Structure formats: structure tokens, C-alpha cells
Amino acid sequence: FGRSGHGLVCDMALQLVSVTTQQQLASLVAASPHTEFASACAWPDEVRGQDEFRWSAPHHYVNMPRGEKQVTIEDCPERGCILSAIADMQQRLAADKHDWQALLFLAHHIGDLHQPLHVSYADDLGGNRTAVYFYSHEMPTNLHGVWDTNMLSKLGYDDDYVKQEALFLQLTADNIANWQQGTVLDWANESAALTYDIYQQYRPGMLIDDTYVLQYQPILEQRLQQAAVRLAFLLEQLLTIENAE
């Protein structure tokens, strides 16, 4: 996701955790270069190009062979991928609950794991090297950007706080109980199945407009909600429950 997607996921997660966890998150964020958890969750994208954090660049995604609709742990290369990165950052944070970098990587990667094209195919860099148009032939973009940012801004999530709050308020107790089930690999495979579907519809040079955006709106919104519920669940476990004894 781009800034607004990560901000949404982290803002919702913050509202879902206990007050104790909120306080721990606040002190972790205070040690980071950001002042709010929502904006701090985009930090891994700000540093992935810097020498010090170059190792983390391949940890934003995982790719599967073209035509597959499931990933396995074998798809994760030696240098790591989003699946191994999530496991590593969970371990780091469990070992040191003041490790703000581990927190921000974990929160960021849980968001990206739910953006279908971050569980995708290497031959076009997860849709970064596709050519599509968004609403007009004056707006060339690519499938990855459509899912990271274009659709979210079209749907009004960039700066509409009421819209963002609605996504949180729509969550039900059933949603929360159901989405906490499964493993990180299961969550990745929900994205993998969506990615397969997205490529079934993809034609080079296609025009993406209302038909496409309205078709995928409920799915995109549910992915944001699922990411938030699952991030909240993991943070509660890592920061509070395990440290309670």
C-alpha cells in the first residue's frame, strides 16, 4: 500500500487494541522519526532505498510462479520475503518490546500482505511493469499503483476522516473473531487468490474506471479491515499478553 493505505490499517489497529497496548505503541512511536502510529507505518517505504536498509527492500512482497494462485514458504528466497520478514519482526519485537523499527516493519508488512499485488508474480514486478490507464488516457499508471494508491484515493480515503472512520465502525464482532484465525501464510494466500483473479481480467493498456473500481471496492475495503484486525491481534499478543506474567 501507499501512505493512505498504511495509515488506515494502523489507525484502525490502534483503535482495536487495549489501552495498555496503545500506551506501549505510543512509547515505541515516540522513539521513531514519526509522531503518529498512522504515519509511522509508512516508514519502511521511506527507508527501503537507503544503504542502511537496503536489505529490507525485498521484504515488502513475495512472488509465486506465473499462473499459480497459492504461495508456499519455498517461494521465499534466501534474502527473505514478506513472509520471513513478518516472522523475523515478530521475534525481534517479542525479544525487545522497545524495538520500534521491528514494530514499524511488522505493521507495514501486515498491511502490504493484504494488498493482493504484494503476493504476486516476479516477471512484471508485482504489476509495477504493467501499463494501464486510470479513468482517462491522460492518466497512465500500472496495476500495482492502482491497488496501492489510485483506487484508495478515488474512493475518497486520502483525506476524508469520516470515510476512514466508517471502515472501522463497520467491523463486527464476527469479523474480528473470524479474521484472527489462520496463519500469516493463509493470509498471504487470500492475496494470492485475488492476484490470480486480477490477472485474469488484466489486458495491457486497459482502461480502469468505475466498473473495475466498484467491482473491487468491497474487496479492497475488506482487505484493509482484515489487515487492521490481524495487526491488532498480533500486537496485543506481542506487546501485552506475553509480557503480562
Q: Which residues contact ligand ADE by CB under 6 A?
A: 60-61, 63, 117-118, 120, 122, 125-126, 128
The CA distance from 52 to 48, in Å, is 8
- Cα-Cα-Cα-Cα torsion 184, 186, 191, 195, nearest 10 degrees, comes to 130
Pick between residue 168 and residue 202 the one whose CB is nearest to ligand ADE: 202
Pick between residue 120 and residue 150 the one whose CB is nearest to ligand ADE: 120
Question: Which residues 6+ apart lie within 8 Å of 240 measured at CB?
Answer: 17, 18, 20, 21, 24
Q: How many residues bind Zn ion (CB under 5 A)?
A: 1
Q: By CB under 5 A, which span of 17-25, 95-103, 141-149, 179-187 interacts with Zn ion?
A: 141-149
State CA 92 to chain mean position distance.
19
141: left (phi over 0), alpha (psi -120 to 50) or beta: beta
CA angle 120, 133, 57 (to 5 degrees): 35
Instruction: Copy the grid coordinates of residue 145.
Output: 499503483
Q: By CB under 5 A, which span of 6-14, 81-89, 143-151, 189-197 interacts with Zn ion?
A: 143-151
User: Which of the residues 144 through 173 are near Zn ion (CB under 5 A)?
Assistant: 148
Q: Least Å distance between CB 112 and ligand ADE?
A: 8
Pick between residue 90 and residue 120 the one whose CB is nearest to ligand ADE: 120
The CA distance from 161 to 15, in Å, is 14
Pick between residue 45 and residue 99 the one whose CB is nearest to ligand ADE: 45
148 interacts with, out of Zn ion, ligand ADE, none, CB within 5 to 8 A per kind: Zn ion
Q: Which residues bind to Zn ion, rule: CB under 5 A?
A: 148
